[in-house]
Structure 1
């Protein structure tokens, strides 16, 4: 039977329920969002003379929840217009509508009695064969389906989304005692392909996989912080980006999630896992109990481990909690000699060997925390899962770890991991020693481009399932590399398609990256069929190498700078006018030059989570790698008969002038940096390179021909330039922009108007590129531009001067 999900019902509209509803709307599914009917009128309703029978009152809870979710930042929805896919209602008037949906998802309060009551009511209207799942984070699945019909139990299981549902990729699927295996298989595939998740089938154990390991890791730190006499700043410094964890690290993450949420899960594990060998660790330290009593729960109550206050002159200041006195104090800077030793190690996983060898408090911290983590995860198999890779997948997708526990253990060395465990009085599970005895020295290996993981029952390395839809560049790089320099690696993806993978810091685009890109195009035109530009780093590219531009400008090497900018422009034009199809695969931050490259490819296969825009104004210049030209061209291509062409051009001008950045790939179409009918979106970033390869193959097999260079770009000349100059004058006079902002905007205006031509004229792309480059160079001679670039290089944020 082929199962398709066209509509879902989400029962419960709290933060989690509304978030899940929004994410299904993101992928084009019609959503019915239901909640309870209010028991009494609020003051506004009383003032309007409404009654409890009025529809607006009966749907107040669900409508207020959804409205709050749609206003929240970061947004749970890719594009605000997608909210029209969500219909709201209540559990009395609208419950019969669940009989028309393909999947019912329960997201009500975490109380078994309430959940069972909801399921009893839903079963009266549910159509046989309809999927029905619970988003519980810890209540045993087998308790919830007791007393329900066989058909209900056959199609029932847990589907645990992590909050926020749009951004966190973990999707735990927990079977009940009678769940049909075909249901699990379907949900596993649906989560990965359509919801863009990392699907993990877990056992029905307390807190499942992600929270069991994640909460252990946090509770371990809570107990260790006093033992090592550490501040919360020190712990957050050591448990953040340096080891591939989120910037919020440990204590800031708890503030964001809510201390009460963490305590609820920790208490659940403590109560329901009496045989856990680290059971005592889930008992709350005294300082946590005090914080709970004081309602210091984090962001939701205005204070937790950190507290925002207004300091002198109204300046916002963040205070930290002293765990010894439980008073707030000024934040202290944390620094460790061991961390200094990792600054030159760009690849996070390679830092762990250095970190555990540290001779200071940081080294001790890493040895203790990792020893505890390694011992704990090894002992959770087979209790919470039979497969070690599922634990790694859960921690990466649910907690934002760049590497899972077993991957980190591999990086340190399995035997070294056992050594630091024993030094802490801990032992790994017996199967780890059995693995070493069987001749496997690591948990993972790579073979023929696929990841293999140690299978404990089989005592051998077995292929991790679900990889067939992916191309994992880390796995194929060594065997498929056809060219490499300091900026890129070019890989043969097979079937006549090459891939250019940026390897520079933050994937910035400098001379080596451009040289590698041109070399890849040369190779593809000679011996291959197509080219993909894609990587699997955190971000596609944050733009051009502004450090290089700054050095040339400071040294007044304007001829060299002119050549460098022309090289960038020429490389973008090669992307567009090569004899083979070129596909860009942007994701994450795709800014400045990364956006320009995407715009010049034949097609873009874009991850839904792509934050894209031309942001050069922030460093005092205009887009100089073809971006200004391209926005003028795209505006001209949208001119229609009877259009007010100036208004169309102005929209594109403002997109660049205001340095607008999309908050999703869908918004990038609104900005004009992606094109409908040309560019496509994938929800699961893991599928992106494979999908881009398919597009390149299809274009090549369909008889791709090199496009002719454009000489028919309509520019509006003086009439557009005059309008823009009047606008920038008035904005400066009204103090919306600075004098230097005005200067940059006027340079952009000159380029996008096509200069001061006396009338609308057809020009070539090269004409626009030449005046774009001239404008860019002139701005690089300005002291205020150099100040902006220097500030960005030093502080990582724009300067307004």
Structure 2
């Protein structure tokens, strides 16, 4: 059988979802044909005006406007604006024949079966046999859509449900139709994971599939509980947010963002199509939701929902929240619960659940009711919506941003303890759960030999979850493969001669313990191994240096200690670069300040596509002091070409630091010079990142890695560059574009990147640049305004302009 390759994709329907899917295929390098209907009413308007506009422009107006608005939206659906060139637009009348040349057609039109059937009938006439054809429906049964289509169509047809926004949410549900071939399902499952960077989950053709069936149950369950328990909107959001590993937007804020009408549409669909669901009545909308729908309080899209942003008399914005009893907006109230206080010192979310369900206050009661209902519901959905319990967890994590799925939470509480809580709330688990305990399995999941096993219901045994071989899951190997540990890092043996250094500090900040761990990792790797990966699977790679420690030293005026601490940071970065083994950094999420400097000093970066990386030190009143300023001066020099205006090149790198630029994807980091073309690479699926980084460390080692020679050939421009920078910062301050303190920081950076006030261009060593960088950093730490900036950042998490 020939291997299926996806080079060209057609997306039919250019609404928010269609444009988002088109952008994500462009993100991964596919050619995309985006088609939508001809806007009849527009053509009539143009004709009435007597305009002789290029007919095609008017005929494609709908699709072009939709794509344009998607590309402007924030967060952006595309990794890099130039990737949009991979998308060609057209309309379903003039351009439908072009689908004969594509490898995959994805339908994303309005959720009406009659319209979808017409679209499929037309596509069936033009598609080449063997072409994949799928629907991004979120609720219409797949079996109805392919009725009456050709045999070849039905064999290559299924549902592929992306979650919105398609770039950011990882769930990719694949729903077979009655005649979908196995080859198609297997192909899509692998393609989703490997190329689209998704968590692929094959679901059954049941209403709302897996993610929305469970997710909407969870939200509806809350809607019905909130008034019974006398909780406010803010309290529910406090209880269902980061404390239990859910997104900051928690419940009600999420509904506002998604749109209440979207949620109601899915809930109604489940209510109508699942008459035998034991929680059927729960999908009925409570009175306050009906009122909100009538009032068009749908959330962000209508300017108000559970929350509403208003401008006060003083011109300041305030966010009000909805009182669910009076249905009037009022000022937000701070929510606090004794039970939540008990979890403040518990860093790992999974360890908080036993504490939360044993709370003695309203929060404890809320969690017991909530989890009891959820556990009963998910256990009863097997085998209705899926045969495997891990697929429910995968869907909730990838589609709703939960850190842990329902069965993982149940495991954390203890299966028997969970049943006890359920009984107290009048709930019962499905029979298979008690069978599982009787068969000797006391948990839904186990870890053996670095792999995760899940309980298989028909086999009544723990079975290895398929598809893990391309991944390295640090949680699974940490205990068995630990080589060294301190309070900042764990160093694990990844096998095949490669070590991994995993940060374990709060937000993965880089302080003394992490630096000691990094040095230890290099020592160990040089002695007994062939390479080192610096990678973790936390929410963020690293938010930078521990500024709390810098602040304390600066306030106490312990400048010698501070100088030593900064030198230790710089020396550690240089160790990464000049060790005798290859070092690979694997940044993902936020890689800011020191996290960015570390990445820039590795031999190679294997970045996740979703990496937000940059040197942000200006925000706290200093310059990059861990080798970042030196590195930008060095990289600017390495890009000087004969005949270049060298000053202009240097200025670009200077501005990258001075404006504290952060890339909104790894691809943008190449433009900033933070990642390097031809050397660093990007992986779309974060789950594959550590395994890919390990493979690259192995490749470099096998290619005969030689320890690099320290550089002494860096061309700095001296006074010529310094003069230009100082004139620039002077005029910016004079025109009130930057503050006086901003100017002071910028001038210090200018001094470092110019290599000091040397009278002519000179070749210097990296150490020379590091020394003047450290001196500049230290002198800024003696400034009151810098200390105010650091203190403000520590208190509020936001930069201060003073």
- Report the TM-score when normalising by structure 2: 0.99
Q: Which residue of 2 aligns with 1:61?
A: 62
Q: Is 1:776–2:777 an aligned residue pair?
A: yes
Residue in structure 2 matched with residue 507 of structure 1 by the alignment: 508
User: Counterpart of 1:206 in 2: which secondary structure?
Assistant: coil
Q: In 2, distance between residues paired with 1:48 and 1:782?
A: 65
Alignment of 1:167-178 (within 5 A): 167-178=168-179
Q: Deviations over 1:246-305 (max 9, x none)?
A: 000000000000000000000000000000000000000000000000100000000000
Contact residue 41 and residue 52 of structure 1 kept, 8 A:
no
Distance 1:47 1:367 in 2: 64
Q: How far off is 1:26 after superposition?
A: 0.0
Deviation sequence 1:485-519 (CA, Å, 0-9, x none): 00000000001000000000000000000000000
Structure-2 residue corresponding to 1:332: 333
Please say if residues 587 and 608 of structure 2, whose CA atoms lie closer than 8 Å, have aligned partners that are also in contact: yes
Which position in structure 2 is the counterpart of 1:129?
Answer: 130
1:684 equivalent in structure 2: 685
Alignment check: 8 A CA contact 1:98 1:104 kept: yes
Query: What are the equivalent positions in structure 2 for 1:477-496 lying under 5 Å apart?
Result: 477-496=478-497
SS at match of 1:714: strand
Q: What is the CA–CA distance in structure 1 between the aligned matches of 2:313 and 2:444, rounded to whole Å?
A: 54
Large movers: runs of 4+ above 2 Å: 41-53
Give the distance between the partners of 1:716 and 1:75, measured in 2 at CA.
Answer: 38
Could you tell me how far apart the structure 1 residues matched to 2:40 and 2:309 are? 36
Matched with 2:527 is 526
Q: Following TM superposition, by how much is the alpha carbon of 1:42 offset from its aligned partner in structure 2, in angstroms?
A: 7.4
Provide the rounded CA distance (Å) in 1 between the counterparts of 2:648 and 2:48.
Answer: 45
CA distance in 2, matches of 1:48, 1:128: 44
Aligned equivalents of 2:50, 2:762: Cα separation in 1: 63
| 1:314 Cα deviation after fit | 1.0
C-alpha separation in 2, matches of 1:759 and 1:195? 51
Partner in structure 2 of residue 238 of structure 1:
239
1:312 and 1:388 map into 2 onto residues whose CA distance is: 53
8 A Cα contact 1:51 1:57, kept in partner? no
Write out per-residue CA displacement over residues 549-575 of structure 1, whole angstroms, 9 at most, x where no aligned residue: 000000000000000000000000000
Structure 1 match to 2:557: 556
In structure 1, what is the Cα distance between the partners aligned to 2:419 and 2:797? Answer: 40
In 2: Cα distance, 1:540 partner to 1:49 partner: 58
Report the Cα offset of residue 243 of structure 1: 0.2
Equivalent residues of 2:43, 2:59 under 8 A apart = no
Give the structure 2 partner of residue 639 of structure 1.
Answer: 640
Q: Does 1:206 align with 2:217?
A: no
Counterpart contact for 1:608–1:681, Cα < 8 Å:
yes
Cα gap change, 1:675/1:44 in structure 2, threshold over 3 Å: closer, same or farther? farther
Question: Is the CA contact 1:171–1:199 (under 8 Å) kept in the aligned structure 2?
Answer: yes
Q: Deviations over 1:107-166 (max 9, x none)?
A: 000000000010000000000000000000010000000000110000000000000000
Residue 39 of structure 1, CA deviation:
1.1
Offset, 1:411: 0.2
Match of 2:727 in 1: 726
Q: Is the 8 A contact 2:43 2:58 kept in 1?
A: no
Q: Distance in 2 between matches of 1:619 and 1:6?
A: 46
Whole-angstrom distance in 2 between the partners of 1:453 and 1:411: 14
Aligned-pair CA distance for 1:48: 6.9
| Whole-Å separation in 2 of the counterparts to 1:326 and 1:64 | 37
Distance 1:393 1:51 in 2: 54
The 3-state SS of whatever aligns with 1:479 is: coil
The aligned runs of 1:621-700 (5 Å cut-off) are: 621-700=622-701
- Tell me what 1:104 maps to: 105
Distance in 2 (CA, whole Å) between partners of 1:43 and 1:116 is 27
Contact 2:96–2:126 (8 Å) recurs in 1? yes
Instruction: Give yes or no for contact 1:52–1:58 (8 Å, CA) kept in 2.
Output: no
d(CA) in 1 for partners of 2:709 and 2:541? 28
Aligned length: 801
**Secondary structure, in 3 states, of the residue corresponding to 2:520?**
helix
Residues 619, 43 of structure 1: CA spacing in aligned structure 2 closer, same or farther, 3 A cutoff?
Answer: farther
**Is the counterpart of residue 115 in structure 1 residue 82 in structure 2?**
no
Q: State the shift of 1:51 in Å.
A: 5.9
Q: Aligned pair in 2 of structure 1 residues 113, 532: CA closer, same or farther (>3 Å)?
A: same
Shift of 1:49: 3.9
Give me the whole-angstrom Cα distance separating, in 2, the residues matched to 1:524 and 1:425.
Answer: 56
Structure 1 632/34 Cα, relative in aligned 2: closer, same or farther at 3 Å?
same
1:74-93 matches, within 5 Å, as 74-93=75-94
Structure 2 residue 787 is the aligned partner of structure 1 residue 786: yes
Matched, 1:468 2:469: yes
Contact 1:618–1:788 (Cα < 8 Å) also in 2: yes
1:50, CA displacement in angstroms? 3.2
Q: Give runs of aligned pairs for residues 260-659 of structure 1, distance below 5 A.
A: 260-659=261-660
Distance in 2 (CA, whole Å) between partners of 1:349 and 1:52 is 61
Once residues 133 and 216 of structure 1 are traced to their aligned partners in structure 2, the CA distance between those partners, rounded to angstroms, is 26
Distance 1:45 1:543, change over 3 A: farther
CA RMSD for the aligned pairs?
A: 0.9
Q: In structure 2, how many angstroms separate the alpha carbons of the residues matched to 1:398 and 1:180?
A: 25
Partner of 2:798, secondary structure, is coil
Change (3 A) 1:315 1:42: farther
Cα distance, 1:44 vs structure 2:
8.6
Counterparts of 1:86 and 1:143, CA distance in 2:
30
Q: Shift of residue 41 of structure 1?
A: 2.3
- C-alpha distance in 2, partners of 1:319/1:452? 46
Q: What secondary structure, in the 3-state scheme, does the structure 2 residue paired with 1:372 have? A: helix
How far did residue 626 of structure 1 move?
A: 0.0
Provide the rounded CA distance (Å) in 2 between the counterparts of 1:232 and 1:206: 29
> Matched residues in 1 for 2:617 and 2:68: separation?
34
Task: Name the CA distance, whole Å, in 1 between partners of 2:647 and 2:414.
Answer: 64
CA offset at residue 313 of structure 1? 1.4
Aligned counterparts of 2:738 and 2:592: Cα–Cα separation in 1: 22
Q: Which position in structure 2 is the counterpart of 1:710?
A: 711
Matching of residues 751-770 of structure 1 within 5 Å? 751-770=752-771
1:148 and 2:149 matched: yes
Q: Secondary structure at the match of 2:34?
A: strand
Distance 1:489 1:47, change over 3 A: farther
Instruction: Name the CA shift for 1:594/1:665 in 2 (closer, same or farther; >3 Å).
Output: same
Alpha-carbon deviations, 1:369-408, whole Å to 9, x = none? 0000000000000000000000000000000000000000
Q: Specify the alignment match of 1:73 in structure 2.
A: 74
Shift of 1:53: 7.5
Q: Deviations over 1:347-371 (max 9, x none)?
A: 0010000000000000000000000
Contact kept in structure 2, 1:7 and 1:101, CA below 8 Å: yes
- For 1:575 and 1:42, the matched residues in 2 are separated by 62
Q: Secondary structure at the match of 2:42?
A: coil
Paired residue for 1:701? 702
Rounded to whole Å, the distance in 2 between the matches of 1:50 and 1:92 is 21
Matched residue, 1:227: 228
Work out whether residues 551 and 787 of structure 2, in 8 Å CA contact, stay in contact via their aligned partners in 1.
Answer: yes
Task: Render the CA deviation track for 1:207-260: whole Å, top value 9, x for unaligned.
Answer: 000000000000000000011011000000000000000000000000000000
1:606-640 deviation line (CA, Å, top 9, x unaligned): 00000000000000000000000000000000000
Mapped partners of 1:92, 1:760: distance in 2: 63
C-alpha distance in 1 between matches for 2:384 and 2:98 = 39
> Which structure 1 residue ranges, 5 or more long, are not aligned?
none
> Which residue does the alignment assign to 2:183?
182
Q: Would the aligned equivalents of 1:40 and 1:52 in 2 still touch at CA under 8 Å?
A: no
SS at match of 2:746: helix
Q: Provide Cα deviations, 1:638-694, integer angstroms capped at 9, x if missing partner.
A: 000000000000000000000000000000001110000110000000000000000
Distance in 1, Cα, partners of 2:632 & 2:43? 50
